[in-house]
Amino acid sequence: MYWNQKYECMPREELLALQLERLKNTVEKCFYNVPHYRKAFQEIGFEPGDLNSLQDLAKLPFTYKTDLRDNYPYGMFAVPLSEVVRIHSSSGTTGKPTVVGYTRSDINTWAELMARALVTAGVTKNDVIQNAYGYGLFTGGLGVHYGAERLGASVIPISGGNTKRQVMIMKDYGTTVLTCTPSYALNISEVIEEMGLTQDDFQLKVGIFGAEPWSDNMRKEIEQKLGIIALDIYGLSEIIGPGVAIECPSKTGLHIFEDHFIPEIIDPDTGEVLPYGSTGELVFTSLTKEALPMIRYRTRDIASLTLEECSCGRTHLKMKRVSGRTDDMLIIRGVNVFPSQIESVLLEIGQTEPHYQIVVDRIGTLDTVEVLVEVSASFFSDQIRQLEVLEAKIREAIESTLGISVKVRLVEPKTIERSEGKAKRVIDKRKLD
């Protein structure tokens, strides 16, 4: 099933021609309407007329999150504020917030893309979508909402939090599709269990989860606990919000909507463009955005791209699941560590709850890592030895995956903070200045 078959299944050659035409248009608008881009292009002696092929894109400078901050709040907009009908923004917990704007046409594009994403995941107008992404400045809630309405599905704008009420509504209103972060989906499954309910009490069939990195093992866990198909959705507010890419039910990667965005994978250190199949940092260029066009935006997300044919018939290339972010990456004793690696290990061992927290500290000059893991009732017995064996097993598995030594500490169930949005997986106590 397609939402817009012409574009979703467009032959590659036609698609690339369309991209070039749209890219020329975007680059021109950036050059003439956004001082930041004009200056950046002029610094390398580039003028809009120099762009003659898609390969020329690699000559253009990158855009960073700091560019949005430096031009706070509206300096990166390519249209006057009078044309902007919506403003979203990041929370700004790591500095000045980043502000993104949408024209009426951008909102329309976004709704179209999000509707397309939902259909790609197998959602139809007959579905009841419980949208537990946060509504407000965060693009997740409203992004999914507009797409669901565009599709004609029944959307419940419940937003995040109040999990017991979520479960009650999910049951009573006959929710068939759940949209939220994967860690919140796990949280919901736990509350369902606590409330003494089972899969049979619900009509859920699909979950569309994103906004934080997760693993295939976590997918299996969620699918099994909720009795659904769990699919990965990708997006970021700087590019448009949710609806940049999504998995089809073949679960072989996320189709990037290439008629609106050009993805690249680069080496994050050298900036060099890497061939398909390589793992590196994902970079996006927008092709149809009016208010906030983006040229080669550095997402800090680590992924890879593949052109392999898909059984769903879509011709758009696929990205592999994001395996981490260059900025949630921990550097411990010189080793790069992604929290998702530790999560994978825990889910593979499967004898603990999937809730964990990584505490990094520095004692003297030595970085220490402690992984707190919740003991699972089903694997607990009366014997100390068995728990010690489990601790050792987890420790050895993490050490062999990460290549650094860690301490594992088993903790009582439900003592690690539950998330109602993004999970707080890492506590870094090191003072690294």
Query: Which residues are near other proteins by CB under 8 A?
Result: 375-377, 380-384, 387-388, 409-415
216/388 with CB nearer other proteins? 388
| Cis amide prior to 73 (ω within 30 degrees) | yes
Distance CA 183, CA 168 (A): 19
Residue-wise burial string across 239-267, b where 16 or more C-beta atoms lie within 10 A, e elsewhere: bbbbbbbbbbeeebbbbbbbbbbbbbbbe
On whether the CB atoms of residues 284 and 301 are closer than 8 A, the answer is: no
Distance CA 19, CA 358 (A): 43
Distance CA 100, CA 159 (A): 21
On whether the CB atoms of residues 184 and 419 are closer than 8 A, the answer is: yes
Closest approach of other proteins to the CB of residue 132, in Å = 24
Q: Pull the structure tokens for residue 107.
A: 């909102």
Closest approach of other proteins to the CB of residue 251, in Å = 34
Distance CA 210, CA 390 (A): 31
Closest approach of other proteins to the CB of residue 388, in Å = 7
414/424 with CB nearer other proteins? 414
Distance CA 235, CA 239 (A): 7
167/317 with CB nearer other proteins? 167
Closest approach of other proteins to the CB of residue 223, in Å = 25
363/384 with CB nearer other proteins? 384
Beta-carbon contacts of 154 under 8 Å, excluding residues fewer than 6 positions away, are 127, 128, 129
Closest approach of other proteins to the CB of residue 367, in Å = 20
Q: Which residue do the tokens 């269990």 mark?
A: 193
E strand or H helix at 236: strand 229-236
108/415 with CB nearer other proteins? 415
137/411 with CB nearer other proteins? 411
Closest approach of other proteins to the CB of residue 413, in Å = 6
220/414 with CB nearer other proteins? 414
Closest approach of other proteins to the CB of residue 385, in Å = 8
Distance CA 109, CA 104 (A): 9
Closest approach of other proteins to the CB of residue 382, in Å = 4
Phi, psi of 17 (to 5 degrees): -65, -40
29/409 with CB nearer other proteins? 409
